[in-house]
Structure 1
Amino acid sequence: MTTTVDTDTTIEVLTIEEAAAILRISRNAAYAAARKWRATGGKVGIPCIEIGRTVRVPRADLDKLLGRTNGSDAA
């Protein structure tokens, strides 16, 4: 199964699957990194928020993690 990710920077939060596709990691690895972020108080892993039973990744935090500004590559 292929996941298509819309890279529109107006999206404020991403699903774990969308964040995993951007990071080019598996869904399971993304969930593990999100759990690690929560367990370490935000020191390690993928920044995330929980809304009920769902986990979302704030787009701005993911961009910071990747070293992006204004949704563009820093390279």
Structure 2
Amino acid sequence: MAIPTVVPYTVASDMLSIKEIRDQLKATGHPVTADDIERWIREQDLYVEKYRRDVYVSYSDILMAHQEHVGSQN
């Protein structure tokens, strides 16, 4: 009998570096700094991957945090 596997982490293609995410969010009209993104990672205890000197995090998770950030400014 096969059982489904629960994968607690995001798909690898969704992982971007903090620098890449910062650059993507510039186009939204609500740019943020790398420090903002790092704070969201800590506050929401988001899963990260470290490769060499870069930190990778789920772009989808950061988009949700960004949405909360923009919504709280109104």
Q: Same fold (TM over 0.5)?
A: no
Q: Which has the larger Rg?
A: 2
More helix by share: 2
TM-score by length of 2: 0.43
